[in-house]
Chains A and B, each alone.
Chain A
Amino acid sequence: MRDSRRTRLVLALLLLTAFTLITLDYRANGGGVFGSVRRTASSWFGPVERIAADVVRPVRHAVEAISSVGSNHQKLQDADQQISQLQQKLRNIPFDQQRIDELDKMLHISAVAQYKLVYAQVIAVAASDGFEWTATIDAGSMDGLKPNMTVLNGDGLVGRTTIVGRSTSTVLLAIDPQFTVGVRLPDGQTGYVSGRQKDAMSLQLIDPTARVKVGDGLVTRGSTNQTPFVWGVQVGSVVSATQPLAGEVQTGTVRPYVDFTSLDLVGVVVEPPRTDPRDALLASPVPTVTVTATVTATPPPPSSSNPSSNSGATSSRSATSSHSATSTHTSTANPTGTATKPPVKPSPNPSPGGSPAGRSGG
């Protein structure tokens, strides 16, 4: 081109100018002349751009809507899935709460009566055709279970183990007609309770002069060597009793504390307490009222000098029991427990911490 040299000169000048601008702006670092030039340009062109944007916005939204159809679809699917997962979790909350309550009740029992419990879940119940009442739990010999161990839950006596497999066991429920357990009357007398039907058991006393009345609570007396029954597990309350003539043995009907229609979490007593809890558990009815408040870590109140002695592993749980002590009748239970506990207590305690923690997950 004819103007090539001039053109190249112009080009060089322009490039130099551009470079100079760059350098100056760099050194001014956003301020100075360039800052004000930018601001002026911005004030002129800002409105232009805003108007143009308003004009263009509907078109842009339409294009975005079309282009994001695919990702929106995916987002909707993800959201739906998340919603159904969350709904499921919500539905589980009452069940989780129930299990928390159950566990707390059992922990209370284990702490007050010093049972060593292995927790298990009822995974199968025999057909309730009236002929047999048994259940399968998901704990077995590898969890430390043996035949003829006491099975209880937060409400009271559930039954005893009969056949123990490696990881599951069969429990003969207390309402089975073949089930019999020796019980202790409130005045210290002995009787026998057998299963009869789903919500009633038969009571038979031994001593013809012993008398029970309606409303009396019964606890297990404890068998020889604590097998199959450990002492002190609450069984039920008397709902009716015959009025025998002199010389005749009194009989009655007992309503079990345990609701056998809704068995879920149970505990198997793998090691009995050293001393007889006697009525300790009976004297602390229905801890449910206080238990929910104590699930969170409450520091043990000052009155818990007793539980802290066995705080080896059950510290949080003894906090539970002692807290409920202040609001229900267990205040009488604790002193009883204290009095009967020999000072050597702490030794069996570290173990309760191990197995319940492992089993409470169900």
Chain B
Amino acid sequence: MQVALVVVLVLAATVVNAVVLSPMNLPGAPPNVLLLVVAALALVLGPMGGAFVGFFAGLAADLLPPADHLLGRYALVFCLIGYLIGMLRDEARDSVLLALVSVAVAAGVATVLYGLLGGVLSDGRVGAHVLVTTVPYSIVYDVILAPFVVPWVMKLARRTQPQVVHK
């Protein structure tokens, strides 16, 4: 059940990214709903679940059109992000602010990581100058979107969670 939810959320987020948000031509980088979904799920699922969700979400982002980069780049970045955010699961359960802050950090870190990876792989499209100008924008947009996306994704995920006893 939860797996199905995760799959649906990830695919929907990818489509929304490509169809709704990117064509809007906002200044700087467009907001990344997929990242928000991954962060929200990670906050519920913990580090391992976050890593898995991140990996597959990233893979979806790499595969689905109009992606045009090496397969696996987003998988790597989102996997790491999912893991790191998942580490904050317990703390985030109590504090919404922490959740939002962590999402903002995740947005910045994801973009930077992606850029660094692009530099390592000699992707000409990513340059330090581009990073400097896009990171603030993506953080701002994601922070703006986060209150709309993260809480109910978390709620949905918790509702469909199999009854696990935390030890």
Residues of A within 8 A of B (CB): 1-4, 6-7, 10-11, 14-15, 17-22, 24-26, 34, 37-38, 41-42, 45-46, 48-49, 52-53, 56, 60, 63-64
Contact = CB atoms under 8 A, between A and B. Distances in A.
Contacts of B62: 21
15 contacts: A1-B47, A6-B48, A14-B52, A14-B54, A17-B75, A18-B73, A19-B72, A21-B75, A22-B70, A38-B71, A45-B14, A45-B15, A49-B65, A52-B15, A53-B23
A21 B65 contact: no
A256 B87 CA distance: 103
A52 B15 CA distance: 8
Interface in B38-90: 46-48, 51-52, 54-55, 58-59, 62-65, 67, 70-73, 75-76, 79-80, 83, 87
Nearest to B77: A18
A49 to B, nearest CB: 5
Nearest to B23: A60
A10 B15 contact: no
Contacts of A41: 63-65
B137 to A, nearest CB: 15
Interface string B135-147: 0000000000000
A358 B134 CA distance: 56
Contacts of A14: 51-52, 54-55, 75, 79
Interface of B: 11, 14-16, 18-20, 23-25, 46-48, 51-52, 54-55, 58-59, 62-65, 67, 70-73, 75-76, 79-80, 83, 87, 121, 167
The majority secondary structure among interface residues of chain B is: helix
A37 B121 contact: no
Given A2-B167, A10-B48, A22 B121 contact: yes
B47 A11 contact: yes
Contacts of B167: 2
Given A22-B121, A41-B64, A17 B19 contact: no
Nearest to B75: A18
Contacts of A1: 46-47, 87
Given A22-B76, A26-B70, A17 B55 contact: yes
Contacts of B24: 60, 63-64
A38 B83 contact: no
Given A20-B72, A22-B70, A22-B72, A11 B79 contact: yes
Given A45-B65, A53-B19, A60-B24, A7 B80 contact: no
Main SS at interface, chain A? helix
Contacts of A48: 15
B64 A52 contact: no
Nearest to B74: A18
B75 A60 contact: no
Given A18-B79, A42-B65, A49 B15 contact: yes
Given A1-B46, A49-B15, A10 B23 contact: no
Nearest to A6: B48
Contacts of A49: 15, 18-19, 64-65
Contacts of A46: 65
Given A52-B15, A60-B23, A15 B72 contact: no
Given A10-B52, A45-B65, A18 B76 contact: yes
A17 B51 CA distance: 12
Nearest to A34: B71
A7 B79 contact: no
A7 B48 contact: yes
A25 B51 contact: no
A2 B58 CA distance: 26
A16 to B, nearest CB: 10
Given A45-B15, A60-B20, 6 more contacts: A3-B46, A4-B47, A15-B79, A18-B79, A37-B71, A60-B24
A56 B64 CA distance: 19
A26 B73 CA distance: 11
B64 A45 contact: yes
Closest A-B pairs by Cβ, 9 of them: A21-B72, A18-B76, A22-B72, A25-B71, A18-B75, A41-B63, A7-B48, A52-B19, A14-B55
Contacts of A38: 63, 65, 67, 71
Contacts of B59: 21
Contacts of B76: 15, 18-19, 22
Contacts of A60: 20, 23-24
B61 to A, nearest CB: 11
Contacts of B65: 38, 41-42, 45-46, 49
A26 B161 CA distance: 38
